[in-house]
A and B are shown apart, each in its own frame.
Chain A
Amino acid sequence: MTAIDTTPPLPAEPGPVPDAFAASRKPVMGQQTWAWIGITPFMIFAILFLIVPTLYLVIGAFQDADGHFTLQNIADLFTPSILNAYWLSIKVSLASALIGAVLGFFLAYAVVLGGLPAWLRPTLMTFSGVASNFAGVPLAFAFLSTLGRMGLVTVLLRDFLGINLYGTGFNLLSFWGLTLTYLYFQIPLMVLILTPALDGLKKEWREASEILGASSKQYWTMVALPVLFPSVLGAALLLFANSFGAIATAYALTGSSLNIVTILLYAQIRGDVLHNQNLGYALALGMILITGLSNGAYIWLRARAERWMR
């Protein structure tokens, strides 16, 4: 479900190297068509196992049971139970993305620019690589063992500080409980994405602003934060999409008691709980739109950030 590559961001475009040469080096006409064969397996795979299945759902969302065009499925999405599921998913994703982005930023800042010992940085990066991939079912187990009714922290708080965690209204199987659990992979993901961006802040920018009379605060508000803004916002969007599409953690944590949209869709796929196959497709379409938009915005913002950083 969750994973993040640990490779640094690529430059947006490789520069003007290939095209001009490529043209002059293709001596025979036939070679152009021949060249296509090289990526045919990939294309066939992508069409069969990525594009067509998705299109099938998208088209199905606009059809009734007999295959006629209709907008009824889309309209039916706006019923309270489905809207609630979307809304809860959006709330959890938004909360975990925003909190994850802020905390991840401070953590990345602390190791990159905070003047901490140098060995902390690779330690944190390796750990973030692990934690950002430590999602799914085991993550739910970990939080149940820690903050569940019999979890270590719950028990310690009760026995040593006399605090009854669940008496305060806290419940792991709730909105905040799920958000707190998601943060376990969201924060490291933010650290991994943001560290290269913080590294990209050139020492000369700080020095130039300082020698032009700016204070440290002015440097941050006028230069560093605006430069980082596309990266931070883009990363937050990626975090949002990341938790929006997640299911395993939530399912293992709460069963089907927390009605987020992925769990609803899961139930629909297994047992047609909506009693309408095509409504299920519309449900999927809504998810594709939401994750697609936030990821698209992320990719756009990343390209923008990389253009600046060059």
Chain B
Amino acid sequence: MKQSKIGAWIAFIIGALYFIVPLIGTFEFSLRMKRGEYSFEAYRVVLTDPNFLASFGYSVLMALITVIMGAVLVVPTAYWIQLRLPKLRPIVEFITLLPLVMPAIIIVFGYLRLYNSSSWLPLTANARSTDLLLSFSYVTLALPYMYRAVETGMRSIDVRTLTEAGEILGASMMTILFKVIFPNVRVAILSGAFLTFAIVIGEFTMASLLNRPAFGPYLQLIGANRAYEPSALAVIAFLVTWACMGIINVVGNLKSNKRPA
């Protein structure tokens, strides 16, 4: 009993060190910009860089568009599968898992060949439509997590009974979807949304290959050319990820606190 507890502590402490030391290392490194003293100079440089603000803003916008499109695509589908087409569940589930099977680089490779400027649907022909294509690619990245979260949420409420209750009371399909189903899976959508946000915000491969000025390619560029700023950016990126996960936890707790009452 005692011995296994010591082993567990050792495993935990080694694990904790492995995860914390790089964070400390990054933070320490980011403070070294001024010779001979610790300062937040690197952060000042980064945060005042117009390219930082522009690319970060671009990625935030992309993430928001992705979340909205993802929700619009996933929620009615999951609802409909649960309600009317349970036989198609395995197929839809398989499709939503495909992005896990296929690396991002493969998906975007296909886009570049299929939707280039001389193709039948020249989405890469101008910047705006490329933005659209990028957000589509992000939706595919988010699909497994969004669908999973929403589907789990829908299973935990009895969609069929709720819908029938709504129908008996004379509500229309739209009313049921937006007034009954949506609020009940809001928590699931929110956690899927923030996970999506965390994935999309620093995404490199797709943005870089589609040549869009997103945060991921910006990070890579800075990394290749600067010494201390990348560490500051890594700290910032870590904080953003942490914030997203923190919000997911808070949202999840809201749910569990509300239910028993």
Contacts and interface: CB of A to CB of B under 8 A. Distances in A.
B105 A262 contact: yes
B84 interface: yes
Interface stretch (B60-68, B107-115, B178-186): B107-115
B121 to A, nearest CB: 8
A129 interface: yes
A107 B11 contact: yes
B22 to A, nearest CB: 4
A291 interface: yes
Contacts of A248: 203-205, 216, 220
A309 interface: no
Interface string A3-21: 1011110100010001101
Q: What is the interface of chain A mostly: helix, strand, loop, or mixed?
A: helix
A219 to B, nearest CB: 13
A65 interface: no
Contact of B86 (A19, A111, A252): A19
Interface residues of B, number: 92
A284 B109 CA distance: 8
A118 B251 CA distance: 21
B195 A133 contact: yes
B199 to A, nearest CB: 5
Contact of B105 (A115, A139, A247): A247
Interface stretch (A77-85, A146-154, A193-201): A146-154
Interface residues of A, number: 91
A246 B104 CA distance: 8
Given A153-B21, A248-B204, A137 B140 contact: no
Which 5 pairs from chain A and chain B are nearest by CB? A53-B110, A114-B8, A245-B103, A146-B25, A145-B29
10 contacts: A18-B160, A22-B84, A39-B80, A109-B8, A110-B15, A137-B237, A152-B24, A262-B105, A265-B109, A280-B109
Interface of B: 1, 4-5, 7-9, 11-12, 15, 18-19, 21-26, 28-30, 73-74, 76-77, 80-82, 84-88, 92, 95, 97-114, 136-137, 139-141, 144-145, 148-149, 151-152, 155, 160, 191, 195, 198-199, 202-205, 209, 216, 219-220, 223-224, 230-231, 233-234, 237-238, 241-242, 244-246, 248-249
